[in-house]
Structure 1
Amino acid sequence: MASICIIPARGGSKRIPRKNVKDFLGKPIIAYTIEAAIGSGLFAEVMVSTDDVEIAEIAKKYGAKVPFVRSTENSNDYATTFDVIEEVLQEYQKTGSAFEFTCCIYACAPFVTSNKLIEAFQIMKQNQYDSVFPVMPYSFPIQRALKQQNNKLSFFNPEYSLTRSQDLEKSYHDAGQFYWMENKVIIENKQILTDNSGCVVISELEGQDIDNEMDWKLAELKYELLQSTK
């Protein structure tokens, strides 16, 4: 069966107004996601789930489809990525379209490439994972994280206070870029991360959370640096 790419892009971004269509080095940031998805050749459908007319028009300009408007319920601040995915798949089922695999790619993920999407899909298929997504290593061991209480510092895990950094287990965090998933299992479990999930490890240069204007500038700098090394 076929695969679908779902790109969530609601209009109500708060911290960076109009974030999903804001200019990123010469074109709307969502364009990078759409172009990577289409360029991978993996999808029978590349669609944008949005409640916003401008986002819909820009998405279609760059080659994505917007077959329906996202519901009000799933356009608020509390709707999860899973909620959006589930709604999209249900809407397609109403038209008789079914997909075996879904890749949900965030609109503000300019570091996602066609090759990375292909690599992650192959990892999922070869290992029969329920889902696969990019992760980044923490720059400092989380076992030695500190907390502040009553203006005093202490370790979350004091047993590791004298352990050498190189002797601590490596830890990772979700890069917040995309999620490949096998639809049947994910929908049944109602969660993307299961006890049978895999990952693609990316470097700190290949990802950036974009939550404020400083993050945006850092993302542009990283992107330009990556392009200059190719």
Structure 2
Amino acid sequence: MEYMAIIPARGGSKGLPRKNVKQLLGKPLIAWTIQQSLDTPEIGRTVVTTDAHRIAKVSDAFGAEAPFRRPEKISGDNATIEVALLHCMAWYEKFEDYSPDAIVMLQCTCPVRRRGAISEAIKQFEASGADCVVSVSPFRNLLWEEGKSKNKSKGQGAPKPLYNYQKRRRQDANATDIRYKENGSIYIIKSDILKKKKNRVAGEVSLYKMTEMEGHQIDTQLDFELMEIIMQNFHERR
């Protein structure tokens, strides 16, 4: 199968301005994901879709393709990632007559990936026969929901636990107390399914499990500072 990696990277970010090119342990944040993609033998092309010239320039310097600027109308706060993916695919079909079998979407705000993790996810995608693979991290279910009262005048009802709260120790937790959450690191989806459903999670789904540490994502300055610590420790262990 032919795989194209697409790395979405908008220039605008309200939570942490210019985060995609912010220096993380000596190189721009986006460079970590670009290099991980380029080191994945199954991936034929690594593309950055961005509306920002600076991001495109940095991406090109680190070996990714960034042949176009994403139109402003699909680069705002309300624009979906799927629209950017479909625009990128359409550009390559029109101008380079290139249509990969599947898209590997990598978010540069999730740079903690084990060496070979992307290859593992691709192998799982092929072996499972699924339409898409979604990377997830474990999430211990300690959630409660607000109680609901049939009589609104009496206010809320009793809160309801969504886990067995009588088992307080972590080692006593059973499988039903642990869930998995999308961590945003790796998405793989068949091109035809993405075009048809216009969603990066569609059809038959297979979960690629990663560690909690690999699931850390950058949205704020605090996230970035924590990421520096995580990445430092992560690479010292390798």
TM-score, length basis structure 2? 0.87
* 196 and 213 in structure 1: CA distance in 2 versus 1, 3 angstrom threshold: same
Amino acid at match of 1:66: A
> What is the CA–CA distance in structure 2 between the aligned matches of 1:2 and 1:76, rounded to whole Å?
30
For residues 104-119 of structure 1, the aligned pairs below 5 Å read 104-119=105-120
Residue equivalent to 1:229: 237
Runs of at least 5 residues in structure 1 that lack an aligned partner in the other structure: none
Offset of residue 57 of structure 1: 0.5
Amino acid at match of 1:228: E
Runs of at least 5 residues in structure 2 that lack an aligned partner in the other structure: 149-154
Residue equivalent to 1:41: 41
Percent of aligned positions with the same letter in both sequences? 27
Residue equivalent to 2:152: none
Per-residue Cα deviation, 1:115-140 (whole angstroms, up to 9, x for no partner): 010000000001111111210111x3
Amino acid at match of 1:28: P
Residue equivalent to 2:134: 133
- Does the Cα contact within 8 Å between 1:141 and 1:168 map onto a contact in 2? no
Q: Are 1:181 and 2:189 matched, yes or no?
A: yes
Residue equivalent to 1:7: 7
Per-residue Cα deviation, 1:72-99 (whole angstroms, up to 9, x for no partner): 1211001111111111111111121111
Per-residue Cα deviation, 1:11-41 (whole angstroms, up to 9, x for no partner): 0111101010001011100000000000112
- Does the Cα contact within 8 Å between 2:189 and 2:201 map onto a contact in 1? no
Larger radius of gyration: 2
> What is the CA–CA distance in structure 1 between the aligned matches of 2:147 and 2:237, rounded to whole Å?
41
* 167 and 2 in structure 1: CA distance in 2 versus 1, 3 angstrom threshold: closer
Amino acid at match of 2:187: Y
Per-residue Cα deviation, 1:170-198 (whole angstroms, up to 9, x for no partner): 21111111211111122212222235111
> What is the CA–CA distance in structure 1 between the aligned matches of 2:88 and 2:124, rounded to whole Å?
25
Amino acid at match of 1:18: R
* 114 and 82 in structure 1: CA distance in 2 versus 1, 3 angstrom threshold: farther
1:211 to 203, 207, 219: 219
Residue equivalent to 1:166: 173
Residue equivalent to 1:145: 144
Moved over 6 A (4+): 148-153
Amino acid at match of 1:92: Y
- Does the Cα contact within 8 Å between 1:102 and 1:182 map onto a contact in 2? yes
Offset of residue 148 of structure 1: 8.9
> What is the CA–CA distance in structure 1 between the aligned matches of 2:94 and 2:115, rounded to whole Å?
29
* 167 and 217 in structure 1: CA distance in 2 versus 1, 3 angstrom threshold: same
Per-residue Cα deviation, 1:23-64 (whole angstroms, up to 9, x for no partner): 101110000000000011222211110111111110000001
TM-score, length basis structure 1? 0.90
* 109 and 167 in structure 1: CA distance in 2 versus 1, 3 angstrom threshold: closer
* Other structure's SS at 1:177 match: strand
Q: How many residues align?
A: 226
For residues 51-62 of structure 1, the aligned pairs below 5 Å read 51-62=51-62
* 229 and 153 in structure 1: CA distance in 2 versus 1, 3 angstrom threshold: farther
> What is the CA–CA distance in structure 1 between the aligned matches of 2:6 and 2:93, rounded to whole Å?
14
> What is the CA–CA distance in structure 1 between the aligned matches of 2:230 and 2:222, rounded to whole Å?
12
Amino acid at match of 2:14: K
